[in-house]
Amino acid sequence: MISLKPYNTFRLDHYCEELHFIHSERNILDLIPFVSAPLVIGGGSNILLTKDHTAPVLINEVKGKEIVGHDDESVIVKLGGGENWHDAVLWAVENDLGGIENLSLIPGKCGAAPIQNIGAYGVEIKDVFERLDAIDLDTGSKCYFNNSECQFGYRNSVFKNAQKGRYFILHIYLRLTLPQHHSLNLEYGKVAEIIGAKKITSPTISDVSEAIIEIRQTKLPDPDLIPNCGSFFKNPIIPQKQYERLKTKHAGIPSYNYAEGWEKIPAGWLIEQCGWKGKIKNGVGCHKDHALVICNYEAQYGRQIERYYKDIINSVSKVYGVVLEPEVNIL
């Protein structure tokens, strides 16, 4: 048995019987006849392992960062599914290619980015996503998905629903802007504030990336120091009417308009109000600075985190009648 502890950022000590590192398309094609229903892991930064796995585990190590097309305003970059996402962002910023600077310092690998449509500070990968190529793990055939075929939603895609577990993502292709054509997104939270405080009048994508790195480093615990998977729950999206009713009972409840007739409520706020921020039980706890991040202080097994998150769901549901849904994949 092989420990999966190095391959999940909750650092849980669950085991598998077989582990394979996939570096290329050839690697995966050669392996397919010998593995059935494998479990693919990217950076392991969005999974909660709750048991040992008998299925073979594949680690995506497909590398490569290159420009494969361009027009007057933009380029298409091709990124290996096993490339570290933040390294890819830094590479883009160094080459003055715009569009993903707001997604700086998100943990994980490029192949996992479209699965949950990663997003932060007003940008989601779907905004720059062109297509991906993948291997169908059932048939061994090569498949392509364009932006609309991925069916992106808030922290969601076809790969979390109908096509869950079916594909090994080889490469993703993003359309990034060339200098003179960047469109900075400074709307969200403290981004503009930090840039203003540095007296930068015409910010570059590099300034935006640095500001976001600063915000994330002050607010979110580093998984290398305190094992965690970033936001554990999605921010719930509820009908406007339900939100109005909640507001009459809980005057301070924050929200962002999500779409006509729908409000998005910060799960971190709900969890904090229910007294979970900084509360540690059996080695598991919500971080003291950000209640949405569940940290593993000294749990060995996923069941301990599972018990903790289910208690949070019950407690928030009792007080607010809102049922939180994990963003992290429970395996």
**Dihedral (CA of 238, 240, 246, 252) sign:** positive
How far is the C-alpha of 279 from the C-alpha of 291, rounded, in Å? 9
CB of 99 to ligand EPU, least distance (A): 16
Q: Which residues pair with 237 in a beta bridge?
A: 264
Whether the CB-CB separation of 268 and 316 falls below 8 Å is answered with no
Does 88 engage in binding with ligand EPU (CB under 6 A)?
A: no
**Exactly one of 101, 210, 263, 327 is catalytic; which is it?**
327
Residue 155 a catalytic site member: yes
How far is the C-alpha of 324 from the C-alpha of 43, rounded, in Å? 24
Does 268 engage in binding with ligand EPU (CB under 6 A)?
A: yes
Does 62 engage in binding with ligand EPU (CB under 6 A)?
A: no
**Exactly one of 155, 175, 209, 263 is catalytic; which is it?**
155
Whether the CB-CB separation of 16 and 56 falls below 8 Å is answered with yes
Helix axes 205-219, 85-94, angle to 10 degrees: 150
| Closer to ligand EPU by Cβ: residue 147 or 255 | 255
Does 130 engage in binding with ligand EPU (CB under 6 A)?
A: no
Whether the CB-CB separation of 324 and 313 falls below 8 Å is answered with yes
| CA angle (164, 125, 170) in 5-degree steps | 55
CB of 232 to ligand EPU, least distance (A): 8
| Closer to ligand EPU by Cβ: residue 84 or 231 | 231
Site residue total, ligand EPU (CB under 6 A): 19
| CA angle (212, 294, 232) in 5-degree steps | 70
CB of 42 to ligand EPU, least distance (A): 14
Residue 327 a catalytic site member: yes
Does 292 engage in binding with ligand EPU (CB under 6 A)?
A: yes
| Closer to ligand EPU by Cβ: residue 64 or 189 | 189
Does 127 engage in binding with ligand EPU (CB under 6 A)?
A: no
Does 109 engage in binding with ligand EPU (CB under 6 A)?
A: no
Q: Which of 6, 140, 254, 261 binds ligand EPU (CB under 6 A)?
A: 254
| CA angle (269, 274, 276) in 5-degree steps | 85
Beta carbons within 8 Å of 69's beta carbon, 6+ residues apart: 75, 76
In terms of Cα–Cα distance, which of 236, 231, 228, 229 is closest to 325?
236
Instruction: Let me know if 111 is exposed, middle or buried by CB neighbors in 10 A (0-12, 13-18, 19+).
Output: buried
CB of 300 to ligand EPU, least distance (A): 23
Residue 175 a catalytic site member: no
Whether the CB-CB separation of 47 and 229 falls below 8 Å is answered with yes
CB of 123 to ligand EPU, least distance (A): 8
How far is the C-alpha of 18 from the C-alpha of 58, rounded, in Å? 9
CB of 127 to ligand EPU, least distance (A): 13
How far is the C-alpha of 135 from the C-alpha of 140, rounded, in Å? 6
**Dihedral (CA of 156, 160, 162, 168) sign:** positive
Q: Which of 117, 147, 177, 231 binds ligand EPU (CB under 6 A)?
A: 231
Does 60 engage in binding with ligand EPU (CB under 6 A)?
A: no
Total length of the chain: 331
Does 126 engage in binding with ligand EPU (CB under 6 A)?
A: no
Q: Which of 277, 284, 312, 324 binds ligand EPU (CB under 6 A)?
A: 277
Q: Which of 77, 208, 237, 291 binds ligand EPU (CB under 6 A)?
A: 291
Does 189 engage in binding with ligand EPU (CB under 6 A)?
A: yes
CB of 312 to ligand EPU, least distance (A): 12
Does 125 engage in binding with ligand EPU (CB under 6 A)?
A: no
Catalytic residue IDs: 155, 231, 327
Name the residues that contact ligand EPU, by CB under 6 A.
120-121, 155, 188-189, 230-231, 234-235, 254, 266, 268-269, 272, 277, 290-292, 327
